[in-house]
């Protein structure tokens, strides 16, 4: 059965990172959207001090509204977990499944800065983390480093306010990319694996699983 997917990238990335998965899901007959969040990649010309987490949540909320989507599989990678949680909290009735791909799963009152292991440096933006640190496969590293752009710092410092409506989404999946070391993601994976309200899976690859293992990730998403 054809499904609708909205794929939300993580920090420093853009919709470009989902190209391989997008192509594979589309070939299976699904409807796929992979928006670039404001201030990043092909929308980097919109970078300003006012771009924050709420901006990115609104990016996706408005996409869903104007494309009149329903029964969505909403997937967030890394920082994108902050975004999809906020989106699902605003429109849970339109989300069939929430997928967190090596992603942060925040509670109300938490910011990305509260959850990430490193301090936020002063300034307007956060410089990209290298593809090598993310354990991206050797073939793609130069390309990923070339594509990544600075991330608006206000996205990291704004705390997420949730009503709890996102908990009504019927299916929740956490995917851990096990070759990327992260205490935060390990902790979340362990918690979701023991929670009967979640499905937890592993992929033996670096943090950018959509680049390292697009076939396996597509199969997981297709089955969600």
Query: pTM higher than 0.75, yes or no?
Result: yes
Picking from 80, 75, 1, 14, the residue whose alpha carbon sits closest to that of residue 46 is 14
Task: Write out the residue range of the structural domain in which residue 133 sits.
Answer: 4-222
Q: Mark whether 78 is an active-site residue.
A: yes
Q: Which among 44, 78, 111, 130 is annotated as catalytic?
A: 78
pLDDT in tens, 143-154: 999 999 999 999
Confidence of residue 84 (pLDDT cuts 50, 70, 90): very high
Q: Please give the tally of structural domains in the chain.
A: 1
Output the domain CATH number for residue 172. 3.40.50.1820
pLDDT in tens, 49-65: 999 999 999 999 999 99
């Amino acid at each position: 059965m054809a499904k609708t997917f909205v794929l939300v990238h993580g920090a420093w990335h853009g919709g470009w990172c989902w190209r391989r998965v997008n192509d594979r899901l589309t070939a299976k007959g699904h409807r796929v959207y992979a928006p670039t969040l404001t201030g990043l990649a092909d929308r980097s010309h919109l970078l300003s001090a006012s771009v924050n987490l709420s901006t990115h949540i609104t990016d996706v909320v408005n996409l869903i509204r104007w494309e009149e989507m329903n029964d969505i599989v909403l997937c967030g990678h890394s920082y994108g977990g902050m975004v999809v949680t906020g989106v699902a909290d605003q429109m849970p009735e339109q989300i069939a499944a929430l997928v967190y791909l090596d992603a942060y799963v925040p509670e109300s009152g938490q910011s990305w800065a509260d959850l990430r292991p490193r301090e936020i440096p002063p300034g307007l933006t956060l410089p990209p983390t290298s593809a090598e640190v993310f354990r991206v496969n050797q073939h793609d590293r130069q390309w990923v480093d070339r594509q990544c752009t600075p991330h608006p710092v206000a996205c990291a410092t704004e705390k997420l306010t949730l009503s709890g409506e996102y908990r009504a989404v019927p299916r929740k999946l956490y995917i851990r990319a096990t070759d990327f070391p992260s205490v935060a993601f390990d902790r979340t994976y362990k918690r979701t694996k023991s929670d009967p309200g979640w499905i937890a899976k592993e992929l033996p690859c670096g943090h950018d699983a959509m680049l390292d293992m697009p076939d396996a990730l597509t199969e997981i998403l297709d089955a969600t």
